[in-house]
Amino acid sequence: MGAPKQKWTSEEEEALRRGVLKHGAGKWRTIQKDPEFSPVLSSRSNIDLKDKWRNLSFSASGLGSRDKLRVPRPKAPSSSPSPSPQLLLLSAPNNVAEASPPEDCEKSPQDDKTPSPKFSMILEALDELKEPNGSEVATICNFIEQRHEVQPNFRRLLCAKLRRLIGVNKVEKIDKSYKLTDSYAKRALAPMKDPSLKKKDSAKSSKAAKGLGQLSPALDAAEAAAMKVADAEAKSHLANEHMMEVERIGKMAEETESLLELASELYERCSRGEALTILQVAHREF
């Protein structure tokens, strides 16, 4: 209604980065109170910092995005921390994964064969776990993760997609759960596997098992085994993600070091009166 949405300026972004470097991620209040960043981040709350950092982390690890040119702010209602037209750089871009365009050809590890199976995946999941009261996001997410490789921020995307599906009346929301619309559920959608794979009454068991850890003999062995396998798969995915994270941190350390070197070099040259263009800096041609 009132708030059009305040996009983050590069100054704010960098203040946040430096704040995290100084105090560590998670100390949002401390960062915001720090007199060094306080002037820049005055209009941001500690949760804003947290949210922004989450976004930065996702876009950094989500390998999918090149840098998007970010305009500082289309509309400045009141206080305008307009970036000075001087040589203001070093606003640390979040490309931890790569710094050199010509090299690093390893790409697209998460490319599905199908061009746009995203919706199908969700509809299939919803159809497979036929819960009368709908399935909650965690359940849907879990189900899909066991069938497809998903990106780390999949859960968040799933949320957005579900909302879209609600918009076109394919899905309805009951409390915190989602379920196929009656009219839409009748249509045969995904080519289901052989019926032998289907367990009767899977809805109750999957949800009940989550709530009560030690279920009775009612839970038959096959189902228990299936769940263990599923869990193991999920864990292996997690392990893989952790490996990637470790690798990422390593690269980040390298990047930081070379950035420091670059900064010193730049400082020295500029203080000698040399003029450098951004392009020169970007290509290290100086």
Q: Can you tell me which of 18, 34, 58, 265 binds DNA, judged by CB under 7 A?
A: 58
Q: Can you tell me which of 10, 19, 28, 179 binds DNA, judged by CB under 7 A?
A: 28
Q: Can you tell me which of 22, 39, 62, 91 binds DNA, judged by CB under 7 A?
A: 62
Residues 128-147 that bind DNA (CB under 7 A): 136-138
**Site membership for DNA, residue 232 (CB under 7 A):** no
Q: Which own/partner contact pairs does 108-112 have at CB distance under 8 Å and 24+ positions apart?
A: 110/149, 110/150, 110/151, 112/148, 112/149
DSSP readout, 127-155? HHS--TT-EEHHHHHHHHHTTS---TTHH
Size of the site for DNA (CB under 7 A): 45
DSSP, collapsed to helix, strand or coil, labels residue 32 as helix
**Site membership for DNA, residue 26 (CB under 7 A):** yes
**Window of 1-9, 216-224, 252-260, 268-276 that interacts with DNA by CB under 7 A:** 1-9
**Site membership for DNA, residue 25 (CB under 7 A):** yes
Q: Can you tell me which of 14, 48, 98, 265 binds DNA, judged by CB under 7 A?
A: 48
Binding mask 89-128 for DNA (x = CB under 7 A): ---------------------------x-xx---------
Do 139 and 162 form a contact (C-beta atoms < 8 A)?
Answer: no
Do 281 and 266 form a contact (C-beta atoms < 8 A)?
Answer: yes
Binding mask 142-171 for DNA (x = CB under 7 A): -----------x-xxx-xxx-xx---x---
Nearer to DNA, 39 or 64 (CB): 64
Helix crossing, 137-145 with 221-271: angle to 10°?
Answer: 90
The pair of structure tokens assigned to 185 is 């559920």
Do 63 and 245 form a contact (C-beta atoms < 8 A)?
Answer: no
Nearer to DNA, 74 or 273 (CB): 74
Percentage helix, strand, coil for the chain under 3-state DSSP, each rounded to 5: 50, 5, 45
**Site membership for DNA, residue 284 (CB under 7 A):** no
Buried b (16+ CB within 10 A) or exposed e, 148-185: bebebbbbeebeebbeebeeeebbeeeeebbbbbeebb
For tokens 């596997």, what's the residue?
193
Interface residues with DNA (CB under 7 A)?
1, 3-8, 25-30, 44, 46-48, 50-52, 55, 58-59, 62, 64-65, 74, 116, 118-119, 136-138, 153, 155-157, 159-161, 163-164, 168, 173, 176
